[in-house]
Protein backbone atom coordinates (compact mmCIF):
# COMPACT_ATOMS: atom_id res chain seq x y z
CA UNK A 1 0.00 0.00 0.00
CA UNK A 2 2.79 2.39 1.01
CA UNK A 3 4.74 1.58 -2.15
CA UNK A 4 1.67 2.30 -4.29
CA UNK A 5 1.16 5.64 -2.55
CA UNK A 6 4.80 6.57 -3.03
CA UNK A 7 4.64 5.52 -6.65
CA UNK A 8 1.52 7.62 -7.18
CA UNK A 9 3.06 10.61 -5.44
CA UNK A 10 6.17 10.24 -7.56
CA UNK A 11 4.10 10.17 -10.73
CA UNK A 12 2.24 13.31 -9.67
CA UNK A 13 5.51 15.07 -8.84
CA UNK A 14 6.97 14.07 -12.20
CA UNK A 15 3.86 15.39 -13.94
CA UNK A 16 4.12 18.69 -12.06
CA UNK A 17 7.79 19.00 -13.04
CA UNK A 18 7.01 18.25 -16.68
CA UNK A 19 4.16 20.75 -16.74
CA UNK A 20 6.35 23.44 -15.15
CA UNK A 21 9.21 22.69 -17.55
CA UNK A 22 6.85 22.92 -20.52
CA UNK A 23 5.54 26.27 -19.24
CA UNK A 24 9.02 27.57 -18.45
CA UNK A 25 10.68 26.61 -21.74
CA UNK A 26 7.60 26.74 -24.05
CA UNK A 27 9.21 25.03 -27.06
CA UNK A 28 6.03 25.61 -29.08
CA UNK A 29 5.96 29.41 -28.51
CA UNK A 30 8.09 32.26 -29.83
CA UNK A 31 8.63 33.65 -26.29
CA UNK A 32 9.58 31.76 -23.14
CA UNK A 33 10.14 32.65 -19.47
CA UNK A 34 13.46 30.79 -19.60
CA UNK A 35 14.88 33.09 -22.30
CA UNK A 36 13.65 36.18 -20.48
CA UNK A 37 14.96 35.23 -17.04
CA UNK A 38 18.24 33.78 -18.32
CA UNK A 39 19.09 36.86 -20.36
CA UNK A 40 17.94 39.21 -17.59
CA UNK A 41 19.97 37.57 -14.84
CA UNK A 42 23.18 36.44 -16.56
CA UNK A 43 24.76 39.86 -16.16
CA UNK A 44 25.57 40.64 -19.82
CA UNK A 45 22.65 42.65 -21.13
CA UNK A 46 24.28 44.12 -24.25
CA UNK A 47 22.90 41.51 -26.63
CA UNK A 48 19.58 41.34 -24.78
CA UNK A 49 18.92 45.04 -25.31
CA UNK A 50 19.29 44.59 -29.07
CA UNK A 51 17.05 41.52 -29.07
CA UNK A 52 14.11 42.59 -26.91
CA UNK A 53 11.72 42.36 -29.84
CA UNK A 54 12.83 38.77 -30.46
CA UNK A 55 12.13 37.76 -26.88
CA UNK A 56 8.90 39.60 -26.06
CA UNK A 57 5.56 40.15 -27.78
CA UNK A 58 5.59 43.46 -29.64
CA UNK A 59 3.81 45.65 -32.14
CA UNK A 60 5.47 47.32 -35.13
CA UNK A 61 5.72 51.11 -35.05
CA UNK A 62 5.61 51.94 -38.74
CA UNK A 63 8.12 54.50 -39.95
CA UNK A 64 8.25 56.61 -43.08
CA UNK A 65 8.05 54.72 -46.38
CA UNK A 66 11.20 56.35 -47.70
CA UNK A 67 13.13 57.12 -44.53
CA UNK A 68 16.22 59.11 -45.46
CA UNK A 69 19.28 59.18 -43.21
CA UNK A 70 20.19 62.40 -41.47
CA UNK A 71 22.89 64.30 -43.28
CA UNK A 72 26.43 63.48 -42.14
CA UNK A 73 29.19 66.00 -41.52
CA UNK A 74 31.53 63.82 -39.44
CA UNK A 75 34.51 65.74 -38.10
CA UNK A 76 37.39 65.20 -35.74
CA UNK A 77 36.73 66.45 -32.23
CA UNK A 78 38.50 66.51 -28.90
CA UNK A 79 37.63 63.06 -27.53
CA UNK A 80 38.77 63.66 -23.96
CA UNK A 81 36.97 64.91 -20.90
CA UNK A 82 37.93 65.74 -17.34
CA UNK A 83 36.65 63.52 -14.57
CA UNK A 84 37.71 64.20 -11.00
CA UNK A 85 40.94 65.77 -12.20
CA UNK A 86 41.75 62.88 -14.54
CA UNK A 87 41.75 63.18 -18.31
CA UNK A 88 39.80 60.29 -19.84
CA UNK A 89 38.79 59.41 -23.40
CA UNK A 90 35.31 58.87 -24.75
CA UNK A 91 36.24 55.32 -25.79
CA UNK A 92 37.54 54.61 -22.29
CA UNK A 93 34.20 55.71 -20.83
CA UNK A 94 32.33 53.63 -23.43
CA UNK A 95 34.25 50.50 -22.45
CA UNK A 96 33.71 51.04 -18.72
CA UNK A 97 29.98 51.76 -19.11
CA UNK A 98 28.98 49.11 -21.68
CA UNK A 99 28.01 51.89 -24.08
CA UNK A 100 26.82 50.59 -27.46
CA UNK A 101 26.30 53.80 -29.44
CA UNK A 102 27.16 57.49 -29.24
CA UNK A 103 25.83 60.03 -31.72
CA UNK A 104 26.07 63.81 -31.78
CA UNK A 105 23.84 65.95 -34.01
CA UNK A 106 24.74 69.60 -34.52
CA UNK A 107 22.58 71.93 -36.62
CA UNK A 108 20.60 68.90 -37.78
CA UNK A 109 23.65 67.00 -39.05
CA UNK A 110 25.41 63.99 -37.56
CA UNK A 111 28.90 65.18 -36.65
CA UNK A 112 30.01 62.30 -34.41
CA UNK A 113 28.92 58.66 -34.67
CA UNK A 114 30.43 55.63 -33.02
CA UNK A 115 29.19 52.10 -32.25
CA UNK A 116 30.54 49.55 -29.80
CA UNK A 117 30.10 45.89 -28.82
CA UNK A 118 28.52 44.73 -32.06
CA UNK A 119 26.03 47.61 -32.36
CA UNK A 120 25.49 48.92 -35.89
CA UNK A 121 23.77 51.93 -37.41
CA UNK A 122 20.69 49.84 -38.20
CA UNK A 123 20.52 48.16 -34.78
CA UNK A 124 17.29 48.78 -32.89
CA UNK A 125 18.16 49.29 -29.24
CA UNK A 126 15.72 49.30 -26.35
CA UNK A 127 14.69 52.65 -24.95
CA UNK A 128 13.69 51.56 -21.48
CA UNK A 129 12.34 54.74 -19.87
CA UNK A 130 13.29 57.02 -22.75
CA UNK A 131 9.88 55.81 -23.96
CA UNK A 132 8.29 57.82 -21.13
CA UNK A 133 9.40 61.00 -22.91
CA UNK A 134 7.80 59.72 -26.14
CA UNK A 135 4.53 59.20 -24.26
CA UNK A 136 4.74 62.74 -22.86
CA UNK A 137 5.39 64.03 -26.39
CA UNK A 138 2.26 62.29 -27.65
CA UNK A 139 0.31 63.90 -24.79
CA UNK A 140 1.54 67.30 -25.98
CA UNK A 141 0.53 66.49 -29.56
CA UNK A 142 -2.91 65.35 -28.36
CA UNK A 143 -3.27 68.62 -26.48
CA UNK A 144 -2.42 70.57 -29.61
CA UNK A 145 -4.87 68.71 -31.87
CA UNK A 146 -7.68 68.89 -29.28
CA UNK A 147 -7.87 65.16 -28.53
CA UNK A 148 -6.96 66.07 -24.94
CA UNK A 149 -8.59 69.27 -23.73
CA UNK A 150 -6.44 70.06 -20.68
CA UNK A 151 -3.54 68.67 -18.68
CA UNK A 152 -5.63 69.31 -15.59
CA UNK A 153 -8.26 66.80 -16.70
CA UNK A 154 -8.50 63.66 -14.56
CA UNK A 155 -7.56 60.32 -16.07
CA UNK A 156 -11.14 59.05 -15.74
CA UNK A 157 -12.33 61.61 -18.31
CA UNK A 158 -10.51 59.56 -20.94
CA UNK A 159 -10.37 56.14 -19.25
CA UNK A 160 -13.88 55.46 -17.88
CA UNK A 161 -12.78 52.07 -16.53
CA UNK A 162 -10.66 53.93 -13.97
CA UNK A 163 -13.61 55.94 -12.59
CA UNK A 164 -13.58 55.70 -8.80
CA UNK A 165 -9.90 54.71 -8.56
CA UNK A 166 -7.06 56.85 -7.27
CA UNK A 167 -5.39 56.82 -10.66
CA UNK A 168 -8.71 57.80 -12.21
CA UNK A 169 -8.87 60.97 -10.10
CA UNK A 170 -5.26 61.95 -10.84
CA UNK A 171 -4.69 64.77 -13.33
CA UNK A 172 -2.57 64.31 -16.44
CA UNK A 173 -0.33 67.13 -15.22
CA UNK A 174 0.44 65.36 -11.95
CA UNK A 175 1.27 62.18 -13.86
CA UNK A 176 3.65 64.12 -16.11
CA UNK A 177 5.23 65.69 -13.01
CA UNK A 178 5.66 62.26 -11.40
CA UNK A 179 3.57 63.60 -8.53
CA UNK A 180 0.67 61.15 -8.45
CA UNK A 181 1.01 60.32 -4.75
CA UNK A 182 0.49 56.63 -5.61
CA UNK A 183 2.00 54.12 -3.17
CA UNK A 184 4.34 52.10 -5.42
CA UNK A 185 7.96 51.01 -4.89
CA UNK A 186 10.01 51.73 -8.03
CA UNK A 187 12.96 49.42 -7.39
CA UNK A 188 14.29 47.44 -10.35
CA UNK A 189 16.71 45.17 -8.56
CA UNK A 190 15.18 44.29 -5.15
CA UNK A 191 13.02 41.19 -5.12
CA UNK A 192 9.51 41.83 -3.83
CA UNK A 193 9.35 45.46 -4.96
CA UNK A 194 6.26 46.62 -6.85
CA UNK A 195 8.39 47.18 -9.95
CA UNK A 196 9.71 43.62 -9.87
CA UNK A 197 6.15 42.33 -9.47
CA UNK A 198 5.10 44.42 -12.45
CA UNK A 199 7.97 43.02 -14.50
CA UNK A 200 7.18 39.43 -13.51
CA UNK A 201 3.42 39.62 -14.03
CA UNK A 202 3.62 41.39 -17.39
CA UNK A 203 6.77 39.95 -18.96
CA UNK A 204 6.62 36.41 -17.54
CA UNK A 205 2.94 35.78 -16.86
CA UNK A 206 1.61 37.90 -19.74
CA UNK A 207 -0.72 39.74 -17.36
CA UNK A 208 -2.89 42.63 -18.50
CA UNK A 209 -0.73 45.66 -17.70
CA UNK A 210 -3.75 48.00 -17.36
CA UNK A 211 -5.33 45.69 -14.80
CA UNK A 212 -2.06 45.48 -12.87
CA UNK A 213 -1.76 49.24 -12.27
CA UNK A 214 -5.47 49.92 -11.68
CA UNK A 215 -5.75 48.98 -7.96
CA UNK A 216 -2.82 51.03 -6.67
CA UNK A 217 -3.83 53.64 -4.07
CA UNK A 218 -2.59 57.05 -3.13
CA UNK A 219 -0.91 57.50 0.27
CA UNK A 220 -0.28 61.26 0.05
CA UNK A 221 -1.84 64.15 -1.89
CA UNK A 222 -1.06 64.37 -5.60
CA UNK A 223 1.11 67.27 -6.74
CA UNK A 224 3.11 67.56 -3.53
CA UNK A 225 6.32 65.66 -4.28
CA UNK A 226 8.48 64.00 -6.91
CA UNK A 227 8.18 60.22 -6.91
CA UNK A 228 9.29 58.65 -10.18
CA UNK A 229 6.84 55.80 -10.88
CA UNK A 230 6.58 53.82 -14.11
CA UNK A 231 2.81 53.21 -13.72
CA UNK A 232 2.29 56.99 -14.02
CA UNK A 233 3.61 56.86 -17.58
CA UNK A 234 1.64 53.75 -18.41
CA UNK A 235 -1.59 55.40 -17.28
CA UNK A 236 -0.78 58.35 -19.58
CA UNK A 237 -0.38 55.84 -22.43
CA UNK A 238 -3.82 54.45 -21.56
CA UNK A 239 -5.25 57.97 -21.84
CA UNK A 240 -3.75 58.26 -25.32
CA UNK A 241 -5.05 54.87 -26.45
CA UNK A 242 -8.56 55.62 -25.22
CA UNK A 243 -8.61 59.20 -26.48
CA UNK A 244 -7.49 58.26 -30.01
CA UNK A 245 -9.19 54.86 -30.08
CA UNK A 246 -6.14 53.04 -31.45
CA UNK A 247 -2.99 51.26 -30.22
CA UNK A 248 -0.15 53.36 -28.86
CA UNK A 249 2.21 52.06 -31.57
CA UNK A 250 -0.12 53.38 -34.25
CA UNK A 251 -0.38 56.77 -32.57
CA UNK A 252 3.42 56.97 -32.30
CA UNK A 253 3.73 55.99 -35.96
CA UNK A 254 1.32 58.68 -37.14
CA UNK A 255 2.48 61.45 -34.82
CA UNK A 256 6.24 60.89 -34.46
CA UNK A 257 7.81 58.17 -36.61
CA UNK A 258 6.36 59.03 -40.00
CA UNK A 259 6.50 62.84 -39.72
CA UNK A 260 10.12 62.75 -38.50
CA UNK A 261 11.23 60.31 -41.22
CA UNK A 262 12.14 57.51 -38.83
CA UNK A 263 12.57 53.87 -39.82
CA UNK A 264 10.27 51.18 -38.43
CA UNK A 265 10.52 50.50 -34.72
CA UNK A 266 8.75 48.16 -32.31
CA UNK A 267 6.96 48.60 -28.98
CA UNK A 268 6.65 45.70 -26.55
CA UNK A 269 3.12 44.64 -25.56
CA UNK A 270 1.82 42.78 -22.53
CA UNK A 271 0.90 39.56 -24.33
CA UNK A 272 1.07 37.96 -27.76
CA UNK A 273 -2.49 38.75 -28.80
CA UNK A 274 -4.32 41.12 -31.11
CA UNK A 275 -5.58 43.12 -28.12
CA UNK A 276 -2.16 43.27 -26.43
CA UNK A 277 -1.43 46.65 -24.87
CA UNK A 278 1.84 48.53 -25.31
CA UNK A 279 3.87 48.86 -22.14
CA UNK A 280 3.72 52.62 -21.86
CA UNK A 281 6.50 53.14 -19.35
CA UNK A 282 9.25 51.58 -21.47
CA UNK A 283 10.22 49.22 -24.23
CA UNK A 284 10.37 51.08 -27.49
CA UNK A 285 13.01 49.70 -29.88
CA UNK A 286 14.54 52.02 -32.44
CA UNK A 287 17.86 53.14 -33.93
CA UNK A 288 20.30 55.64 -32.43
CA UNK A 289 19.68 57.95 -35.38
CA UNK A 290 15.95 57.95 -34.72
CA UNK A 291 16.47 58.74 -31.05
CA UNK A 292 18.49 61.68 -32.36
CA UNK A 293 15.56 62.79 -34.56
CA UNK A 294 13.36 62.76 -31.48
CA UNK A 295 15.82 65.01 -29.66
CA UNK A 296 16.09 67.26 -32.69
CA UNK A 297 12.32 67.82 -32.63
CA UNK A 298 12.73 69.29 -29.14
CA UNK A 299 15.82 71.25 -30.13
CA UNK A 300 13.69 72.85 -32.87
CA UNK A 301 10.98 73.81 -30.37
CA UNK A 302 8.52 71.25 -31.72
CA UNK A 303 8.90 72.28 -35.36
CA UNK A 304 9.78 69.86 -38.16
CA UNK A 305 10.29 70.97 -41.77
CA UNK A 306 8.21 74.07 -41.22
CA UNK A 307 5.32 72.29 -39.51
CA UNK A 308 4.50 72.68 -35.82
CA UNK A 309 4.11 69.27 -34.18
CA UNK A 310 4.09 70.38 -30.52
CA UNK A 311 2.22 73.24 -28.84
CA UNK A 312 3.92 76.61 -28.54
CA UNK A 313 5.75 76.65 -25.21
CA UNK A 314 5.68 72.87 -24.75
CA UNK A 315 9.45 72.35 -24.91
CA UNK A 316 9.99 75.10 -22.32
CA UNK A 317 7.34 73.62 -20.03
CA UNK A 318 8.65 70.05 -20.00
CA UNK A 319 12.26 71.13 -19.48
CA UNK A 320 11.68 73.30 -16.39
CA UNK A 321 11.07 71.97 -12.85
CA UNK A 322 7.37 72.57 -12.08
CA UNK A 323 7.98 72.99 -8.32
CA UNK A 324 10.90 73.54 -5.98
CA UNK A 325 11.05 69.86 -5.07
CA UNK A 326 11.62 69.05 -8.75
CA UNK A 327 14.74 71.21 -9.00
CA UNK A 328 18.19 69.68 -9.47
CA UNK A 329 19.78 68.94 -6.11
CA UNK A 330 16.44 69.07 -4.29
CA UNK A 331 15.20 65.55 -4.96
CA UNK A 332 15.83 62.07 -3.62
CA UNK A 333 17.12 61.31 -7.12
CA UNK A 334 20.35 63.01 -6.12
CA UNK A 335 21.85 65.69 -8.28
CA UNK A 336 19.26 65.51 -11.05
CA UNK A 337 16.05 67.50 -11.35
CA UNK A 338 12.83 66.71 -13.20
CA UNK A 339 10.47 68.54 -15.52
CA UNK A 340 7.48 66.87 -17.18
CA UNK A 341 8.79 63.42 -18.13
CA UNK A 342 12.25 64.82 -18.88
CA UNK A 343 15.24 64.93 -16.53
CA UNK A 344 17.36 67.99 -15.82
CA UNK A 345 21.10 67.53 -15.15
CA UNK A 346 23.02 68.85 -12.18
CA UNK A 347 24.05 72.51 -12.48
CA UNK A 348 21.77 72.91 -15.49
CA UNK A 349 22.74 75.25 -18.31
CA UNK A 350 19.50 74.86 -20.24
CA UNK A 351 20.02 71.15 -20.97
CA UNK A 352 17.46 68.43 -20.34
CA UNK A 353 17.26 64.78 -21.32
CA UNK A 354 15.23 61.62 -21.74
CA UNK A 355 16.77 58.81 -19.72
CA UNK A 356 16.41 55.03 -19.56
CA UNK A 357 17.49 52.17 -17.33
CA UNK A 358 21.07 50.95 -17.77
CA UNK A 359 22.28 53.96 -19.71
CA UNK A 360 20.00 55.19 -22.49
CA UNK A 361 19.98 58.97 -23.01
CA UNK A 362 18.73 61.59 -25.43
CA UNK A 363 20.53 64.72 -24.23
CA UNK A 364 19.18 68.04 -25.54
CA UNK A 365 21.38 71.14 -25.34
CA UNK A 366 19.52 74.16 -26.77
CA UNK A 367 22.32 76.61 -25.92
CA UNK A 368 24.81 74.77 -28.14
CA UNK A 369 22.15 73.50 -30.61
CA UNK A 370 23.21 69.91 -30.03
CA UNK A 371 21.59 66.52 -29.41
CA UNK A 372 23.67 63.69 -27.96
CA UNK A 373 22.35 60.11 -28.02
CA UNK A 374 23.75 57.29 -25.93
CA UNK A 375 22.62 53.67 -25.78
CA UNK A 376 24.09 50.92 -23.66
CA UNK A 377 23.69 48.27 -20.99
CA UNK A 378 25.38 49.92 -18.04
CA UNK A 379 24.52 48.04 -14.87
CA UNK A 380 26.49 50.65 -12.93
CA UNK A 381 24.48 53.51 -14.37
CA UNK A 382 23.38 55.03 -11.05
CA UNK A 383 26.91 55.28 -9.65
CA UNK A 384 28.07 56.71 -12.98
CA UNK A 385 25.36 59.39 -13.36
CA UNK A 386 27.58 62.42 -12.82
CA UNK A 387 30.32 61.07 -15.06
CA UNK A 388 27.78 60.32 -17.79
CA UNK A 389 26.58 63.91 -17.62
CA UNK A 390 30.20 65.07 -17.93
CA UNK A 391 30.66 62.89 -21.04
CA UNK A 392 27.45 64.08 -22.71
CA UNK A 393 28.35 67.70 -22.01
CA UNK A 394 31.90 67.18 -23.28
CA UNK A 395 30.57 65.77 -26.56
CA UNK A 396 28.05 68.62 -26.90
CA UNK A 397 30.74 71.24 -26.42
CA UNK A 398 33.45 69.49 -28.43
CA UNK A 399 31.53 69.90 -31.69
CA UNK A 400 31.28 73.69 -31.41
pLDDT for 206: 87
pLDDT digits (tens, 9 = 90+) for 340-350: 999 999 999 99
* Alpha helices for 146-216 (secondary structure H): 172-176, 194-199, 209-213
Task: Kindly state whether residues 151 and 11 are assigned to the same domain.
Answer: no
Residue 3: pLDDT band by 50, 70, 90 thresholds? confident
Count of domains for the chain: 2
Closest to 372 measured CA to CA, from 306, 301, 298, 264: 298
In a domain, 145, yes or no: yes
Q: Is the domain of 316 the same as that of 359?
A: yes
Q: What is the pLDDT of residue 128?
A: 97
- Residue 19 pLDDT class (50, 70, 90 cuts): low
Report CA 190 to chain centroid distance, whole Å.
20
Q: What is the pLDDT of residue 108?
A: 95
Domain check: are 142 and 6 in the same one? no
What pLDDT shows up at residue 99? Answer: 98
Q: Are residues 38 and 90 in the same domain?
A: no
The answer to whether residues 37 and 67 belong to one domain is: no
How confident is the model over 263-282, as pLDDT tens digits?
A: 999 999 998 889 999 999 99
Rounded to 5°, the CA angle 226-232-238 comes to: 160
Computed over every residue of the chain, the mean pLDDT equals 92
Which has the closest alpha carbon to 354: 142, 65, 345, 23? Answer: 345
SS3 assignment, position 289: helix
Please check whether residues 326 and 352 belong to one and the same domain: yes
376 inside domain: yes
Residue 173 has pLDDT above 60, yes or no: yes
Check whether 373 has a pLDDT greater than 70: yes
Domain range for 19: 2-46
> 231-259: per-residue pLDDT in tens?
999 999 999 999 999 999 999 999 999 99
Q: Give Dmax (Cα) for the chain.
A: 86
Which CATH number fits the domain that encloses residue 382?
3.40.710.10
Q: Do both 301 and 256 map to the same domain?
A: yes
Q: Quick: pLDDT tens for 84-111.
A: 999 999 999 999 999 999 999 999 999 9
350 φ/ψ angles, rounded to the nearest 5 degrees: 90, -10
Q: What is the pLDDT of residues 42-80, one digit of tens each?
A: 667 899 999 999 989 999 999 999 888 999 999 999 999
Amino acid sequence: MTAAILKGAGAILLLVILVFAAWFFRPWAPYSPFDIIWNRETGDRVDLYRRMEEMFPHRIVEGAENAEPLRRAIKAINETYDWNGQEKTIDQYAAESDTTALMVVKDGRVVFERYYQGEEAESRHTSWSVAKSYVATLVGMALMDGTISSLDDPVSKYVPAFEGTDYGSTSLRHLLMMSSGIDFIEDYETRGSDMRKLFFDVFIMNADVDAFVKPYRRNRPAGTDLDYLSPNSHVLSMVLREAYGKPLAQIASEKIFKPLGMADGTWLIDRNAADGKEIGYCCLQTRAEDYARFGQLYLQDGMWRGERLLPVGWTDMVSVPPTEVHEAGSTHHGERGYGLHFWIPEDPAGEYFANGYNGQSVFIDPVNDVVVVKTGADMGQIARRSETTAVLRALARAVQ
